[in-house]
């Protein structure tokens, strides 16, 4: 799975807490049906989320982050709601490290 790193602005959720968002390119497998393609994307996203967890420590979903969860990690969080598969990153340092790996 490849990602596009975008600088957040007010159009994005989390722009008040994070500077970047990593948005995955969709899997391009023309012979896979939608459900199989979505399952593959979610499995790969979990692998990437686990990598972030091992690099920067535990965090939580964006919706809990905004509510002041005990799992808040200022370096990163993720969003998996409504089909969004996104990793939010705090600074240039995290975004650069993420780009090097993915």
Q: Where are the domains of the chain?
A: 3-101
Cα–Cα distance for residue pair 15/78, rounded to 1 Å: 13
pTM: 0.82
Q: What percent of the chain has pLDDT over 70?
A: 87
Q: What's the length of the chain?
A: 102
CB-CB contact of 20 with 95 (8 Å): yes
Say which residue the tokens 């939608």 belong to. 34
pLDDT (tens digit per residue) in 44-76? 888 989 999 999 999 988 888 777 666 678 899
Is the model's pLDDT at 29 over the cut of 80? no
Burial of 21 from C-beta contacts in 10 A (0-12 / 13-18 / 19+)? buried
pLDDT in tens, 78-96: 888 777 788 999 999 999 9
Tokens of 95: 């975004």
Please state, in angstroms and rounded to a whole number, the distance separating the CA atoms of residues 73 and 48: 16
Q: What pLDDT score does 28 carry?
A: 61
User: Residue 36's pLDDT band (boundaries 50, 70, 90)?
Assistant: confident
Specify the pLDDT at position 27.
Answer: 57
In whole angstroms, give the CA distance from residue 14 to residue 78: 10
- Biggest alpha carbon–alpha carbon distance for the chain: 43
């Amino acid at each position: 799975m490849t990602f596009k790193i975008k600088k957040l602005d007010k159009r994005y959720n989390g722009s008040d807490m994070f500077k970047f968002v990593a948005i995955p390119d969709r899997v391009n497998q023309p012979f896979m049906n939608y459900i199989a393609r979505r399952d593959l994307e979610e499995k790969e996203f979990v692998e990437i989320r686990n990598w972030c967890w091992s690099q920067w420590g535990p965090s939580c979903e964006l919706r809990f982050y905004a509510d002041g969860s005990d799992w808040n990690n200022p370096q990163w969080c993720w969003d998996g709601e409504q089909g969004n598969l996104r990793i939010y990153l705090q600074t240039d340092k995290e975004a650069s490290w993420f780009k090097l790996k993915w």
